[in-house]
Structure 1
Amino acid sequence: MSIQSEKSTRTKQKLTHAAVKLFKERGFENTNVRDIAATAGMTTGSFYHHFHGKIEVLNEIYDSRDVYFGKLLGDLAQHPPYNQAIYDFFVDHMVHRVADDGKDFTWHRMFGMKKHSTTAHELYKGMIGLIEKARDAGELNGQYLAEAINEHLFLVFRGVTYEWCLAGGDDGENNLKDLMERHIAAAIQAFAG
């Protein structure tokens, strides 16, 4: 990678980190490009050199997390029991990320982007791989396709997250975790081998 390319990557990362910080603190709608650039210590022109707008930053955040969670799932797939790894992924890793992002940012990411993981994304590929290992080990019922189990688990995850976002007040990570524990456990049990 050239020095210029490395500098461009670092600049883009600084802008992305600044955007995440402001989206969490102020919400997506209450954050503007000028604020993101200033928080990153850059000009608005620098922002527009790397991104077309806030939605593109949101897509960058989404894509980087997709890669991160895909790798994490690959690591989790190395350590049975696999059903426990699936449970831990949703209840620990995903809950922590969602709660850390806060309700407003999560809401906008889920519903404002109109972009959800598909089988083309690393997150889904990683989860399908983990589900296949659980099926092969007899932990999940082999009569169900891994893709169907995956779809069900993510529908449960999004439904619980949606309910948490709708709840008034500052329901923190504990409330989200309690909800996720019950519903993900029930979803995994529904497909148990």
Structure 2
Amino acid sequence: MQALNTQDKIYRIAVELIEKKGFQNITVDEICKVAGVSVGSFYNCFKSKNEILDWIFKLADDYFVNDVAGKIKEGNTQGRVIRFFEYYADYNKERGIDFVKQLYTVKNNLFATKGRPMQNVLQAIIEDGQSKGDISTDITPEETVRFLFIAVRGVVYDWCLHDGKYDLTEAVNNYVKRLVKIL
């Protein structure tokens, strides 16, 4: 139990530091100092500083698999895709603009990872839609997922560039509604 508390504390402090300084600008030593733990404790909990990013993405994946997937089972395919990305936008807004800005950098290649659980939730919707004839089979479900995520990540990036000055969910919703029409 103590190990889990230590791991959670290290994670929370790392996230706070990422928000303030950016991932590339913090060190394991700094995380440990602020968390009040030894470097050895850090490495008992995490293999590296990069594993903190892995955790951030794992938490998002878990949320989409365990919470979102069950909430978007009903309706037509286009509506389900739109709702999926509404959850995606809301999830980013809940993390906060400063935190999201730190993730949306070319140095973070986790966005390019194929087959993430979050993507699999959307891919299942696309596959179901193609099997029902709701969505064209001109491109594979994997390509469709990639296409949609590239567009929506672009909207999130633009939201970051504008310092969160507009409603992200509304903007994502507008883009995805237009995009699903061409599917």
Which amino acid in structure 1 is aligned with residue 147 of structure 2?
H
Q: Of residues 100, 103, 108 in structure 2, which corresponds to 1:109?
A: 103
1:13 and 2:8 equivalent? yes
Q: Of residues 163, 171, 174 in structure 1, which corresponds to 2:164?
A: 171
Structure 2 counterpart SS, 1:80: coil
Gaps of 5+ in 2: none
TM-score normalised by length of structure 1: 0.76
1:65 and 2:60 equivalent? yes
Moved more, 14-23 or 153-162: 14-23
Distance 2:64 2:14 in 1: 20
- The size of the alignment, in residue pairs, is 182
1:183 and 2:179 equivalent? no
CA shift digits 1:59-84 (9 cap, x unpaired)? 22112322322334531453223322
1:131 and 2:126 equivalent? yes
Structure 2 counterpart SS, 1:116: helix
Asked if the contact 1:73–1:123 (Cα under 8 Å) also holds between the matched residues in 2, the reply is no
Superposition RMSD in Å: 2.7
Q: Of residues 68, 78, 82 in structure 2, which corresponds to 1:83?
A: 78
Which amino acid in structure 1 is aligned with residue 42 of structure 2?
F
Q: Of residues 44, 62, 70 in structure 2, which corresponds to 1:49?
A: 44
Distance 1:65 1:171 in 2: 20
Instruction: Report what 1:100 is aligned to.
Output: 94
Distance 1:72 1:136 in 2: 24
Distance 2:110 2:123 in 1: 19
Structure 1 residue 113: deviation in Å? 1.9
Moved more, 81-90 or 33-42: 33-42
Structure 2 counterpart SS, 1:115: helix
Asked if the contact 1:160–1:180 (Cα under 8 Å) also holds between the matched residues in 2, the reply is yes
Structure 1 counterpart SS, 2:110: coil
TM-score normalised by length of structure 2: 0.80
Asked if the contact 1:73–1:127 (Cα under 8 Å) also holds between the matched residues in 2, the reply is no
Structure 1 counterpart SS, 2:52: helix
Asked if the contact 1:157–1:184 (Cα under 8 Å) also holds between the matched residues in 2, the reply is yes
